[in-house]
Amino acid sequence: AQTVTQSQPEMSVQEAETVTLSCTYDTSESNYYLFWYKQPPSRQMILVIRQEAYKQQNATENRFSVNFQKAAKSFSLKISDSQLGDTAMYFCAYNGGSQGNLIFGKGTKLSVKP
Partner 1 sequence: EPEVTQTPSHQVTQMGQEVILRCVPISNHLYFYWYRQILGQKVEFLVSFYNNEISEKSEIFDDQFSVERPDGSNFTLKIRSTKLEDSAMYFCASKHTGAVATNEKLFFGSGTQLSVL
Nearer residue to partner 1 within complex by CB, 18 or 97: 97
104 binds partner 1 (CB under 8 A): yes
Which range in 12-20, 67-75, 76-84, 95-103 contacts partner 1 by CB under 8 A? 95-103
**Residues near 35 by beta carbon (within 8 Å), at least 6 away in sequence:** 47, 48, 49, 50, 51, 92, 93, 94, 95, 102
Q: What number of chain residues touch partner 1 (CB under 8 A)? A: 25
Nearer residue to partner 1 within complex by CB, 82 or 108: 108
| 3-state DSSP percent of the chain in helix, strand and coil, to 5 | 5, 50, 45
61-67 long-range CB contacts below 8 Å, 24 or more apart? 64/36, 66/34, 66/36, 67/20
Q: Minimum distance from CB of 105 to partner 1 (Å)?
A: 6
Q: Minimum distance from CB of 94 to partner 1 (Å)?
A: 10
Judged by the rule CB under 8 A, the positions of this chain that interact with partner 1 are 31-33, 42-45, 47, 50, 52, 91, 93, 95-107
